[in-house]
Structure 1
Amino acid sequence: MNDVIDSSLGSDSATSAVDALPGQVGQTRRPFSGLGSTVTGTGTTTGSWAESTHSVIWLTRGGNRLPLARVGRRSWGTNLISVAVIALTSLIAASNLLDVYGSAAMWAVAAVPATLLGALIAYAGTAPALRLWWQIVFLIVAQGVIGPVIALNDTAISHVIPSVETLSQGFVSTFGAFKYLIAVPPPTGSGDGSLMAAWTICLWLSFLAGVFAIGDKRQLSVLSLLPIAIELVVCALLGTQTGFQPIASGVLIGLIMIVWLSWRWQLLELGRWISATIILLLAAGLGVGACMGIGQSRLILRDYYDPPLSPYDYASPLSGLRSYVKDHKDDTLLTVTNLPEGTPVRLAVMDQFDGNVWNLSDSTEASDSSDYRRVGTRIPNTVDGKKFTATFTIDKGLSDKWLPLAGAASSVDVTSAGKTGGANGNGGGESRSSADHTLFYYNESTQSAIIPAGLSTGMTYTESGIIAPTPTDKEIAKANAAVTNQPGTKDVPDSVGKFASSVAGGEDTAGAQAQALVAQLKDSGWFSHGLTGDYPSLPGHGSYRINALLAGSAMVGDSEQYASAMALMARELGLPSRVVMGFLPKNDDGDISNDRTETVNGISTVKFTGNDIEAWVEINLEGYGWVAFYPTPK
């Protein structure tokens, strides 16, 4: 429009138009002479209008307005508004991490103060005395001291003063937190200093965006979009497939930056707010529509992370069952408080039989038993049932890699590491920090965990979880087998199939077949650990031992043999089965009993000994999931 006005007006008419503008009464104007024109104290100009480089609208708006590139330092209020806009857009970009940490409050503990600090440090650059070197000092303090105190608050003295552990772990977590977020399925909670990832991202990128936003040259303020865009991308890569309203956050950042840049460049005409609003709404609509028109699949780094743990490398825990009974029959190995009465505690779950032992399937098998993933203090849990929060204490003698847990865990918080036990669990090892023991891997399908650092005497942790309801005998008898991918069994003796067919082949449902197998084994078998004074009973649970149990002259064994035999027979009948090893609160007859739990002053406690370590079988039934069966005779 300006070009049309310029071309349609001659120098005389242009001069008249200028003289006729309101607000210019009493001032004498002469034609401009282009770049060589001068401005007098009375507003008088010299030169010709045709030589001017700007339109009449530009020249008359504001009288003495300077060109865009020549605007000097702005007021402190204007700069403060700019850094406030940067802080707001930075937080919107970082909101993609909300689902990762699990709650807005936990995310805000790191993201909000880090963003505000980054923006304020950038704003400090408006004071020449604080520019550059002092800003670097502020950033180092914020990153190396304030961040660790917030992210690793439990290590700080009185939760305020940083300790040596706070500073050292803070330095490690500055880089390690990013790997932690990629390796741990959300929500991660605040374990292992994971909040340092959000702190680092928000602090540095809000600072960089703020520096560009308040620069002396307005043209360079558009560069503040780059750190915000980087933050949005990084948080999306570390986030989840859903994220926090990814479309809304992206569109909102775009609209805020458009309005702010228009104001920053003095192109925002408030008198045209209706048309400006319509344009923004159209832009938002087009942005949302474009996003809805394309696929919403995100590139998430976590989906491409290959956990380094290989559970198949761990020896079969079932092979060591009898050694616990032999060496620690009456020794307390595990103490649990506030656990619901009669609740089993599992150690390991095995679904692959190679002819010698039951073990976890390797990663090449179509099974979930090896799907152990590193988790934080919080664990995804979709199980319905009874909620509980129990505290576990590892006592002398329990020195394995399998972390005792009950039910389906929602969170596990290791608070004390105690001392590491020796190879035989006799204690006396060096002290280990809690951080060494917070690293563990959890399998949601088998509800079991591996802790690479190993259990240690005095180790204490708290589990919050859910115990699924147990179906009744009538419900089990009517249930069919669920479709389950499992590895095949190898070198199974013929006696297993013959025994299974003769006992349960005539039953109509999977649940009834499992009940028939349990009843036959408990009624026909005899129990013996084969220890001194016991009836002879060989250890092991491979093909030779199971054949001796089922086809020998006498059916004698303990839970290691009976669980292995029933799981193999279930497989022969087409039932998905697996062997579980753990602690059972049993009475003298071997049955689960609520009487094992003692309650004093409202606190319930159950103590498990080496004699309480048992093996049992789980069958996957349609509508009920994995249901436990206990085939060991009294």
Structure 2
Amino acid sequence: MNSSRPMVVVPERGPRIGAAPSWRLALVDTVLVVGLGVLASWPFAAAYAGRRWLLAVVVGMVLGLAVSWLSVRLRWGSWLTALAAVAGYLAVGSAVAVPGRARSGLLPTADSLRDLVIGLVHAWRESLTLPAPLGTSGVVLVVPLVTGLVGALLATVFLWRSRWPGMAGVVLAAMLVVASAFGDVEAEAAVGRGLALAGVGLVWLRWRSARHVQARWMRRVVATCGVVMAAGAVAAGAGSVGSTEEYRVVLRDHVEPPFDPRAYPSPLSKFRAYKKEPVKTGTTLFTVDGLESGTLVRFAVMDAYDGIVWNVSGGPDAGHDSGTFRRLRNDPEANQGANVRGRITVGDYTGVWVPSVGETLSMTPSRDGEHDDLAASELVVNPETGTVAQIGGVRQGTTFEIQAAVPAPLQEEEIALHDLDSSVSLPAPAIVPEELVDRVQRWQVDADFSGTTGGELAQFLRDSFREHGFYSDGIDDYVPAGHGASRMALLTRTATPVGNAEQYASAMALAGQRMGLPIRVVIGFKVPPGDGVVRGEHVTAWTEVKLEDAGWVPFEPTPPEDQKLRRPNDEPDEEPQPQVLQPPRVPGEPKDATDNLQQGDGDRTKGDILALLATILGVGLTVAKVLLVLSPLWGVALFKALRRRRRRKVADPTTRLAGAWRELTDRLGDLGVRTAPSATRRESAYAAAERYDAVSVVALAYTADRHVFGPGRPTRAEARAYWSDVDSALKGIRRATPWWRRIAAPFSLATVPWRRALDRVRARARRLAVRLGRALLAPVAGLRRRLPRRGGLPRERRG
């Protein structure tokens, strides 16, 4: 025998479709499905804290494998398999997904079962809207549990009970997509995980398909590995060239988070309330321990100005340095870099903003000496601004133990050497009063300012407000409150600006942003000396400017409190005049928020109306696009296209030729030509010729009858030629049809066999209902057959 002769590969008879796999194959499939499923679900790690999510995924996959194995062994149908999966989910879900509601953390209760049922709908929304990292509260763990359960069940059903075992790889890839979509933006070794999943999955599925072939299938596996390695090298190279930062688009970036800072009033708008008695001197807002006196402690950082107030920003549409609020994660390794440690106890302070210092590395809340888990789960932080908030607001008596990294303060000479950080992107203010701009320009001219760095410009603005302004808290002598555009214009319109930290910090920030400084407003307090009791008199506001290689540097533009304006009537009168009772002057607050805007801005109202109309038009167009994409009429057009393809590809030439005539009559029906259902081809052709006399429809009908009813059978060439004639006739018919009818014809329902389709759906639903009833009543029938009749033997033993 010639040894160089190629070997003929003779495949063995494979297992019957739906037959139970061997124990060896089932064990290999189980190990690989669980391993690859965990690898595909690993993006959940970036969104969940701890490893509870991993337990949920593994338990869900083991449950799905068990249900699938029982289904293939006991020959269950699809409905019974689905019911078994639901029962298993309710049995183990209490201990895995909602242990806080289960009895002893394991046994199901009415509350835990209710949460599991509701969680099938609400868990997906909560996992996207709650700040990351997610904990174990609520029903968020239902997402990894259901992902593992459904993924393993579908993968093994395709492997063990279908003709398409390769679809198991598609299921595992779908698990990767779901886990990535519900994960976080941070991606660790995303390319490596994807390549490992694809490589191992392809080798495994290739081995399964070649296990019954009497050949050297190892060579095929090696070749498959080579292809995977080559594709992986190309993908890794493209990924490294395309992007150096492993960030991805996730669903939570396109969902509005539950904590929206814009839903709360501006922290700066409450500034005047801190200066009134008894809050000013008699009410304890906080008690500070461990922080040095003079340390700046912030409530919130505000970088968005709408013409009325400064407010906290943050979210998917915010600027780069506005950041996004996420759940505060206490990292023990990061705490090693903390150089400031202290405790702040909440007194009579109310609000959602939590005091913080520098870069907050960890914040541990406690009440009555015990850790407050509820408060810890409600803490969110904006990493870019350092603002910390507690969803629902802080509670009196809560102590926050803070560990933070605070940079060393810069000297004045060092600040002047730093230029501004041009990489910062902040939202531009809606309005900057011209009076403020003119006043700052006059100060520049008077002082002959010629600074070249951002640090010098920030120092100039701070010193100008401190030197030319006067302080007043507005309590003893009335000074208007607020920091809207009209108040900023009033502050700088007069020759002697008078205000407090609210006005000066706002004015410096607006002027600095107009001059190109990356600047924002901060409200907080300075730690007082002594016992560390913080009252309203200690609350202040300042600005922060981002300087290159120095970070955010604080600047306090408010004049000293003893720098007050002395009015002419402040001096004692040597010859007092008789007292005349004057009516009291009642300060009036603006009736509407628009009173704080500049006067005479009629074009702004017109612009707002045009913007509103543009928004309404844009929303309408978006809704129309969505309705157009989701319209069921596309299904009608797809049905007609598939019907035409089926008619044209049929093997029998006679049937193909008859199908061409039916295609012609259906297209005529879509264009409005109605014929009787029992009409012959010639009768239908004469009816169409009355409207389209220039097209030889009658000749096509005679040709179809001659080939169908005449002697002999048409050849394939004659069938193709007849289809070409039909296409030419249809082109002429379309040219003779109005344009609006041509557009509507592909979506017409005139030639769609709805009645037959509905009958098929009803018949299938009836068969499924009968099978489900038999599956549910089978145990009862079996028990009934085994029970003895009255006065007799069981049915199996009778006779």
TM above 0.5: yes
| Structure 1 residues 426-471: Cα deviation after superposition (integer angstroms, max 9, x where no partner) | xxxxxxx987995676544332255564444456767665434433
The answer to whether structure 1 residue 408 and structure 2 residue 359 are counterparts is yes
Rg: which structure is higher?
2
Which of 316, 335, 340 does residue 266 from structure 2 map onto?
316
1:475 counterpart residue number: 414
CA gap 1:631/1:212 in 2 versus in 1, 3 angstroms: same
Q: By how many angstroms is 1:288 displaced?
A: 1.3
Equivalent in the alignment of 1:579: 521
Are 1:202 and 2:148 an aligned pair? Answer: yes
Contact 2:94 2:107 in 1 (8 A): no
The question of 1:491 aligning with 2:442 is answered no
Q: Find the aligned partners of 1:239 and 1:500 in 2 and give their Cα distance.
A: 51
**Native 8 Å contact 1:351 1:578 kept in 2:** yes
Q: Deviations over 1:375-433 (max 9, x none)?
A: 2343999999636676665433x33343443333456677889xxxxxxxxxxxxxxx9
Matched position secondary structure for 2:546: strand
1:621 aligned residue = 547
- Paired AA for residue 154 in structure 2: L
Counterpart pick for 2:16 among 69, 84, 94: 69
CA contact (8 A) 1:121 1:138 kept: yes
Amino acid at match of 1:317: P
Q: Is the 8 A contact 1:348 1:448 kept in 2?
A: yes
Residue 270 (structure 1) shift:
10
What are the superposed Cα offsets for residues 112-169 of structure 1, whole Å, 9 maximum, x if unpaired?
3333333234334465399989966764465446445444556666655667665555
Q: How far is the alpha carbon of 1:99 from its aligned partner?
A: 3.3
Q: Does 1:331 find its partner at 2:283? A: yes
| Percent identity (aligned) | 26
Following superposition of structure 1 onto structure 2, how do residues 421-432 of structure 1 map, counting pairs within 5 Å?
Answer: none
Task: Tell me: CA distance 1:410–1:146, structure 2 relative to 1, closer, same or farther (3 Å).
Answer: farther
Match of 2:74 among 111, 128, 132: 128
Three-state SS of the structure 2 residue aligned to 1:541 is coil
Deviation at 1:320, TM superposition (A): 1.4
Amino acid at match of 1:621: L
* Cα distance in structure 1, aligned partners of 2:334 and 2:150: 37
Alignment of 1:27-106 (within 5 A): 57=10, 66-69=13-16, 72-101=19-48, 105=51
What is the letter of the counterpart of residue 402 of structure 1? W
Displacement after TM superposition at 1:301 (Å): 3.1
Q: CA deviation at 1:473?
A: 3.0
Alignment-mate amino acid for residue 609 of structure 1: R
Instruction: List per-residue Cα deviations over 1:567-606 (Å, max 9, x = no partner).
Output: 345346543322211232134xxxxxxx555xxxxxxxxx
Q: Separation in 2 of the partners of 1:627 and 1:91?
A: 46
The SS at the match of 1:92 is helix
Are 2:328 and 2:379, in contact at CA under 8 Å, matched by a contact in 1?
no
Distance 1:337 1:148 in 2: 43
| Residues 1:365 and 1:130: Cα distance change in structure 2 (over 3 Å) | closer
TM-score of the superposed pair, with normalisation by structure 2: 0.56
Indicate if the aligned counterparts of 1:357 and 1:541 stay in contact, CA closer than 8 A: yes
1:582–1:135 CA distance, 2 compared to 1 (3 A): farther
Which residue number corresponds to residue 232 of structure 1?
Answer: 176
SS of 2:265's equivalent in the other structure is: coil
Is contact 2:14–2:212 with CA below 8 Å preserved after alignment? Answer: no
Q: Is the 8 A contact 1:189 1:376 kept in 2?
A: no
Counterpart of 1:283 in structure 2: which amino acid?
A: V
* Structure 2 unmatched ranges of 5 or more: 562-799
Summarize the alignment of residues 285-296 of structure 1 with structure 2, pairs less than 5 Å apart: 285-292=229-236
For the residues of structure 2 that align with 1:187 and 1:138, how far apart are their CA atoms? 33
Which residue does 1:510 correspond to in 2?
454
Which segment is superposed worse, 560-569 or 433-442?
A: 433-442
Give distance in 2, aligned partners of 1:289 and 1:478. 47
Question: SS at the partner of 1:69?
Answer: coil
Mark the CA change 1:131 to 1:512 in structure 2 (over 3 Å): closer, same or farther.
Answer: same
User: Contact 1:385–1:469 at 8 Å: present in 2 too?
Assistant: no
TM (norm. structure 1) is 0.68
Q: Give CA-to-partner distance per residue, 1:276-306, whole Å, 9 cap, x none.
A: 4531321212331453476678664345445
In structure 1, list runs of 5 or more residues that go unmatched: 9-54, 59-64, 418-432, 588-594, 598-606
Distance change in 2, residues 1:505/1:459 (3 Å): same
Judged with a 3 Å threshold, the aligned counterparts in structure 2 of structure 1 residues 150 and 214 are, in CA distance, closer, same or farther, namely same
Residue 447 of structure 1: aligned partner: 386
Aligned twin of 1:428: none
AA of the residue aligned to 1:332: T
Counterpart contact for 2:433–2:489, Cα < 8 Å: no
- How many angstroms apart in 2 are the aligned matches of 1:354 and 1:78? 66
**Structure 1 residue 281 corresponds to structure 2 residue 225:** yes
Equivalent residues of 1:353, 1:490 under 8 A apart: no
Kept after mapping to 2: 8 A contact 1:345/1:582: yes
* Distance in 1, Cα, partners of 2:341 & 2:137: 18
Instruction: Return the alpha-carbon distance in structure 1 between the equivalents of residues 55 and 406 of structure 2.
Output: 32
Contact 1:560 1:614 in 2 (8 A): yes
Contact 2:443 2:464 in 1 (8 A): no
Tell me the SS of whatever aligns to 2:473: coil
Q: 1:163 to 1:328 in 2, by over 3 A?
A: farther
> What pairs with 1:182-201 in structure 2 (closer than 5 Å)?
182-183=128-129, 187-188=133-134, 193-201=139-147
Task: Report the CA distance shift for 1:560/1:288 in structure 2 as closer, same or farther (over 3 A).
Answer: same
Residue number in structure 1 paired with 2:629 = none
SS in 2 for 1:618: strand
Counterpart residue type for residue 549 of structure 2 = G
Q: Distance in 2 between matches of 1:136 and 1:339?
A: 60
1:94, 1:405 → 2: CA distance? 35
- Corresponding letter in the other structure for 1:301: L
The one-letter code matched in structure 1 to 2:48 is Y
How far is 1:609 from its partner? Answer: 2.8
Q: 1:616 and 1:563, CA in 2 relative to 1: closer, same or farther beyond 3 A?
A: same
* Whole-angstrom distance in 2 between the partners of 1:415 and 1:144: 35
Higher relative contact order (CA 8 A, sep 6+): 1
| Contact 1:82/1:214, CA 8 A, preserved across alignment | no
Q: Distance in 1 between matches of 2:9 and 2:17?
A: 19
1:201 Cα deviation (Å)?
0.8
User: Greater helix share, 1 or 2?
Assistant: 2
What is the distance in 1 between the residues matched to 2:18 and 2:506? 83
Partners of 1:318 and 1:209 lie apart in 2 by: 56
Provide the secondary structure at the position in 1 that maps to 2:227.
Answer: helix
* Alignment-derived partner of residue 399 in structure 1: 350
Residue by residue over 1:67-107, the C-alpha shift from the partner in whole angstroms, topping out at 9 and shown as x without a partner, is 5438954444542332222111211211233333377x455
Larger strand fraction of residues: 1
Count of residue correspondences:
540
Cα separation, partners in 2 of 1:469 and 1:155, compared to 1, 3 Å: farther
Residue identity opposite 1:196 in structure 2: V
Instruction: Find the counterpart in structure 1 of residue 717 from structure 2.
Output: none
Q: What CA RMSD, in Å, does the superposition of the two structures yield over aligned residues?
A: 4.8
What amino acid is aligned across from residue 557 of structure 2 in structure 1?
P
The whole-number CA distance in structure 2 between the counterparts of 1:83 and 1:279 is 25
1:118 alignment partner in structure 2: 64
Q: Relative to 1, partners in 2 of residues 1:549 and 1:92: Cα closer, same or farther, differing over 3 Å? A: closer
